[in-house]
Amino acid sequence: MKVLSVVGARPQFVKCAPVSRELRKVHEEVLVHTGQHYDYLLSEVFFRDLGIPAPDHHLEVGSGSHGVQTGRMLAAIEEVIAKEEPEIVLVYGDTNSTLAGALAAAKMHVPVAHVEAGLRSFDRRMPEEVNRVLTDHCSDLLFCPTATAVGNLAAEGVTAGVHLTGDVMVDALRENLPLARERSTALADFGLSPKGYYLATVHRAGNTDDPAALRAIMEAFSRLDGPVVFPVHPRTQKKLAGYGIVPAANVRVVEPLPYFDMLALLSGARAVLTDSGGVQKEAYILEVPCVTLRENTEWVETIEDGWNVLVGADADRIVAEAERAGGARRQHSARFGDGHAAARIAAIIAEYEP
Ligand code: UD1
């Protein structure tokens, strides 16, 4: 099959690395980078570290409002599809790049395959939730990471083309954790000892675009009983500066981390505080307690098994749960798959007949 894969944002680079490798064993892959993320540390470093092939098309769409960004991508991806004439278009996750890829293909009658289908936070105010729902409803192949995701799709009447493959982030993590442990010097570089620090990430619009929420989160970090390593997303950096919020002395603000350093710091942390989806799941797999700075999550398994807790942007709840993180009762299961999701996806695509 000629598969056109569309990626554009940091988590999509992580997800596409194992899938691209498996695809290229049996299919022809054309890789499209929309340019949604363009900073070296959000994009190029992932291609380098994860050995992702250079994109065949770089659309250089860049930042903008949702309408502007998605619209530019839609027009540009349409041109690439017309030129390349793929037999299937593969999209990942829930970003504006995902929706643009899916919509461009569906309107051109090219089958759409969605990696990470069926996730729901049931919060339509999140741009990602709109992207997920719309992408799933115009997809022909839906690769679900979990049984919960399959159930979510069934509840919306989507059953055709649905496959429970497991989560490709497990594939990426299994493969890269040994490399991260071998290559990353992040703990020593930051002068940290294992379990002697917290790790934090904040980038969701719901937190960054609300000064009161961002202030409460930063206040909570200042009250934690240890150093907080805070790799800061460019949008968050801009918002902190714009609101005049100065992180406290125990908060170590650092640039976005390459994947290996992120894995090393995450696996060594006492707990992670985050509003990212992917980090909640990585924490679960690495058996690191997670405190999620949101009121909902699409990764409910992490909550059910006791590794994750939702605290929103409430400073007292954040501090209490972060400091309690070592004490909760937990269980662990292979609810995100066995690390062979990418191979399954390549095999299902090989058998697909539109
Ligand atoms: C996007 C995804 C989000 C995902 C996240 C991963 C959407 C709607 N959101 O959010 O689901 O979790 O990626 O990081 O698609 N910026 C830079 N340099 C860059 C990219 C962005 O400075 O390379 C700044 C710009 O000011 C930009 C802002 O970050 O306006 C937001 O970027 P954008 O791509 O719109 O969304 P993310 O917040 O990164």
Question: Rounded to an integer, what distance in angstroms lies between the CA atom of residue 112 and that of residue 65?
Answer: 25
For ligand 1, the distance from its centroid to the CA atom of residue 234, given in whole angstroms, is 8
**pLDDT value, residue 271:** 96
Q: Are 22 and 349 in contact (CB under 8 A)?
A: no
**Calpha distance 112→81 (Å, rounded):** 12
Tokens of residue 331, six digits: 């269980």
SS (H, E, C) 162-216: EEECCCHHHHHHHHHHHHHHHHCCHHHHCCCCCCCCEEEECCCHHHHCCHHHHHH
Main-chain dihedrals φ then ψ at residue 151, nearest 5 degrees: -65, -40
Residue 29's domain comprises 2-167+337-351
Give the amino acid at 44. Answer: E
Looking at the fold, whether 140 and 180 belong to one and the same domain comes out as: no
Q: Do 284 and 244 share a domain, yes or no?
A: yes
CA 231 to ligand 1 center in whole angstroms: 14
pLDDT score for 327: 61
The pLDDT value given to residue 326:
62
**CA atoms of 324 and 238, how far apart (whole Å):** 31
254, β-bridge pairs:
231
- Strands of the sheet containing 198-201, edge to edge, are 251-254, 228-231, 198-201, 271-274, 290-292, 308-310
Which pLDDT belongs to residue 354? 86
Atom of ligand 1 nearest to the CA of 208: 38
DSSP H/E element including 277: helix 277-286
* Ligand 1 geometric centre to CA of 9 (Å): 7
Is 93 a domain residue?
Answer: yes
144 within a domain of the structure (yes/no): yes
Let me know whether 14 and 157 are in one domain.
Answer: yes
Tokens standing for residue 175 = 């493969």
- Listed in sequence order, the residues at least 6 apart from 22 whose beta carbon sits closer than 8 Å to its beta carbon are 342, 343, 345, 346
Is 329 part of any domain? Answer: no
Residue 238's pLDDT is what?
97
Average confidence (pLDDT) per 10 residues, the chain, 354 residues: 98 98 97 98 97 97 98 98 98 98 98 98 96 98 98 98 97 95 95 96 97 98 97 97 97 97 96 97 94 96 93 97 78 88 98 93
pLDDT at 332 (0 to 100): 75
Tell me whether residue 236 is in a domain.
yes
Which residue among the candidates 27, 57, 203, 233 is catalytic per the annotation?
203
The answer to whether residues 12 and 154 belong to one domain is yes
Query: In a mutational test of the pocket of ligand 1, which residue from 16, 34, 59, 233 has the highest number of ligand atoms less than 8 Å from its CB?
Result: 233
Residues 6+ apart with CB under 8 A from 286: 173, 177, 263, 266, 267
- Which CATH number goes with the domain that contains 313? 3.40.50.2000
Q: Number of structural domains, the chain?
A: 2
Residues 213 and 306 in one domain: yes
What pLDDT, on the 0 to 100 scale, is given for residue 328?
Answer: 63
Q: Which atom of ligand 1 approaches the CA of 278 most closely? A: 12
Instruction: Please indicate, yes or no, whether residues 247 and 290 belong to a single structural domain of this protein.
Output: yes
Say yes or no: 13 and 159 in one domain.
yes
Helices 96-107 and 66-84: crossing angle in degrees, nearest 10, is 50
Same-domain check for residues 160 and 180: no
37 lines ligand 1 (CB under 6 A): yes
Residue 328: inside a domain, yes or no? no
Asked if residue 244 and residue 319 are part of one domain, the reply reads yes
Rounded to the nearest angstrom, the distance between the alpha carbon of 96 and the centre of ligand 1 is 9
In a domain, 78, yes or no: yes
CA 277 to ligand 1: nearest atom: 12
The reply to whether ligand 1 has any atom less than 6 angstroms from the CB of 211 is no
